[in-house]
């Protein structure tokens, strides 16, 4: 069973002007695709070839001898999840049970937003910021490089990719502006709520 590259859940130009079609052409068509290709090469003919993506990640997490497999598998999963976290005309505030959980966990939506943006801005070098379910509460997590909440027994609800390849063509070094626009204009709160 080989891992496949999922289609983007929107047209390549759907997230403009925040994320350009050019960025998605490279980010999905080259970067995400390369993680899929590399992973399939690494697991071909091994026992992991019969596992699904989530099991591959869990089975190789923390095993230095499997770092290549873990990094590529986690990056495949992280990107597939990240695309679903965005939509044209997204952003704003969630409602319902998710809004209640955010208020209970962070005090207010504004406080959540500030903490999420801070985690994304302060992740040194490449990585990801996450909203996760941690038992009954929601919390913010940041991970370096390919690392992912799944490898730590946590459930991801929302993520933002803060590798430079995610924003450099559109924002150059202005990572905080990319984060602000992601929160204000792109987050697909229905998808986030569906992960609860």
Applying CB under 5 A, among 147, 161, 170, 181 the residue interacting with Mn ion is: 161
The residue (of 34 and 133) whose beta carbon lies closer to Mn ion is: 34
Is residue 170 part of the contact set for Mn ion (CB under 5 A)? no
Q: What is the rounded distance in angstroms from the CA atom of residue 59 to the CA atom of residue 99? A: 34
Lay out the site mask for Mn ion across 63-102 (x = CB under 5 A, - = otherwise): ----------------------------------------
Applying CB under 5 A, among 35, 83, 163, 171 the residue interacting with Mn ion is: 163
Q: What is the rounded distance in angstroms from the CA atom of residue 53 to the CA atom of residue 39? A: 10
The residue (of 162 and 183) whose beta carbon lies closer to Mn ion is: 162
Residue at token pair 């997490």: 61
The residues near 142 (Cβ < 8 Å, ≥ 6 apart) are 119, 120, 122, 123, 127, 128, 129, 130
Name the residue number minimizing CB distance to Mn ion.
161
The residue (of 106 and 128) whose beta carbon lies closer to Mn ion is: 128
Torsion angle defined by CA atoms of residues 88, 91, 93 and 99, in that order, rounded to the nearest 10 degrees? 80
Q: What is the rounded distance in angstroms from the CA atom of residue 48 to the CA atom of residue 46? A: 5
At its nearest, how many Å lie between Mn ion and the CB of residue 112? 23
At its nearest, how many Å lie between Mn ion and the CB of residue 169? 12
The residues of the shown chain that bind Mn ion, judged by CB under 5 A, are 161, 163, 166
């Amino acid at each position: 069973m080989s891992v496949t590259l999922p289609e983007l859940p929107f047209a390549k130009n759907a997230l403009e002007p925040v994320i350009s079609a050019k960025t998605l052409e490279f980010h999905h068509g080259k970067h995400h695709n390369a993680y899929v290709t590399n992973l399939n090469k690494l697991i071909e003919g091994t026992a992991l070839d019969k596992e699904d993506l989530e099991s591959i990640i869990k089975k190789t997490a923390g095993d230095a001898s499997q770092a290549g497999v873990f990094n590529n598998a986690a990056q495949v999963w992280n990107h597939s999840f990240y695309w679903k976290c965005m939509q044209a005309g997204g952003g704003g505030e969630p409602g319902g049970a998710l809004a209640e959980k955010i208020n209970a966990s962070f005090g207010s939506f504004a406080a959540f937003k500030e903490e999420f943006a801070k985690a994304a801005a302060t992740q040194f070098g490449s990585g990801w910021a996450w909203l996760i379910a941690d038992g009954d509460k929601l919390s913010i997590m940041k991970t370096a490089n390919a690392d992912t909440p799944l490898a730590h027994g946590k459930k991801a609800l929302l993520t933002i990719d803060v590798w430079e390849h995610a924003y450099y063509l559109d924002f150059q070094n202005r990572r905080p502006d990319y984060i602000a626009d992601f929160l204000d204009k792109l987050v697909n709160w229905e998808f986030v709520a569906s992960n609860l």
